Structure 1
Amino acid sequence: MSRQGRRDTAPEVAVRRLLHAAGLRFRVNVPVPGMPRRSIDIVFPRLKIAIFMDGCFWHGCPQHATQPKSNAEWWRNKLDKNMARDLETTEHLRDAGWTVLRFWEHEVPVETARTVQELVARRRSKA
């Protein structure tokens, strides 16, 4: 598992390129305030928008998640803990006033970027 990429996954990079091409500037892999060893994939700090690009296997996608047959109990516990940590992180950020968006790796990057752009535009128009 130590060899699994934690950042700069292909779906994440694709969305970041589209957002950057649209003129949006953001930070990447920012630590979650008050939560050690957790980071936000794409962040608009002033607007308090946190975007997570979740992998289907590691985060339990309802459409594409698979269950390993070897060492099944250990994997089930591991993946359940991942999903519980995701929920805890989302709640922590929302309680701190952040807007949290989570996207699955299989979602179309253009649609994901469009959703983010629309939220950023709405937030900026209110400011």
Structure 2
Amino acid sequence: MYYPTHLLYTKDHEWIKLDGEFAFIGISDFAQKELGDIVFLDIPSLNTVVENEAVFGTVEAVKTVSDLFMPLAGKVIEVNTLLEKSPELVNKDPYGSWIIKVQVNLPIDTTHLLSAEQYTNLVQ
């Protein structure tokens, strides 16, 4: 499996791409493979404020439903509308198929997040 080194990860299998005060959030390759065929994503509305480690949505696969946990507190400023009609894009390209874009609370604390190497060690 592939874990890009420019991303950060959570123990709950979300990935985070920081861009200044913004963060793109998705699920890892490991997560999408464990879930199987993804058929639906229930994600928050725009301007929803979500606290760190709170559930911000769910991923529904053929066999199961899994919660999504917010890796950094902030406000949802964009959702990936492509996933509404084609949730299977997460299976095809988990790192290109971000789920939400968040304006994160400053200062950003990433000490609880994992590097690609740490995440690899976690899931092996």
| Higher RCO (C-alpha under 8 Å, 6+ residues apart) | 2
- Structure possessing the higher radius of gyration over alpha carbons: 1
Q: Which has the higher strand share?
A: 2
Q: Which has the higher helix share?
A: 1
